[in-house]
Amino acid sequence: MAEMVCRECHRILKGQTCPICGTGNLSSDWSGMVIIIDPQKSEIAKKMGIESKDRYALKVR
């Protein structure tokens, strides 16, 4: 099954709803990936305003 991305938080997930936002507003058309492993120390996470470790898409259509 293709991985989906939540249009609101950009998380890459499997399934039909985003476990964090609780929304079903997902997209299979996404590109680019950023994996945040340590949100406290990561400068990229700070710039993107990400506070939890996860996989995120850079662009969602």
Partner 1 sequence: MSENGDSVIYVVKTTANQEKSVAIMLTQIARKDRLDIRSILAPDELKGYVLIEAPNVSTVEQAIQTVPHARSLVKGESSLDEIMHFLTPKPTVTGITEGAIIEITSGPFKGEKARVKRVDEGHEEITVELFDAVVPIPITIRGDTVRVLKKEEQA
Number of chain positions touching partner 1 (CB under 8 A): 19
**For residue 54, how many other CB atoms are within 10 A of its CB?**
17
Please pick, from the candidates 20, 28, 32, 52, the single residue that binds partner 1 as defined by CB under 8 A: 32
Site string (36-55) toward partner 1, x via CB under 8 A: xxx--xxxxx-xx------x
Counting contacts by CB under 8 A, is residue 58 touching partner 1? Answer: yes
Q: Which long-range contacts (CB under 8 A, 24 or more apart) does 34-38 make?
A: 34/58
What is the DSSP secondary structure assignment for residue 27, as one 8-state letter?
E
Shortest distance (Å) from residue 44 CB to partner 1? 5
Instruction: Report the C-alpha gap between 46 and 29 in whole angstroms.
Output: 25
Q: Is 14 in the site for partner 1 (CB under 8 A)?
A: no
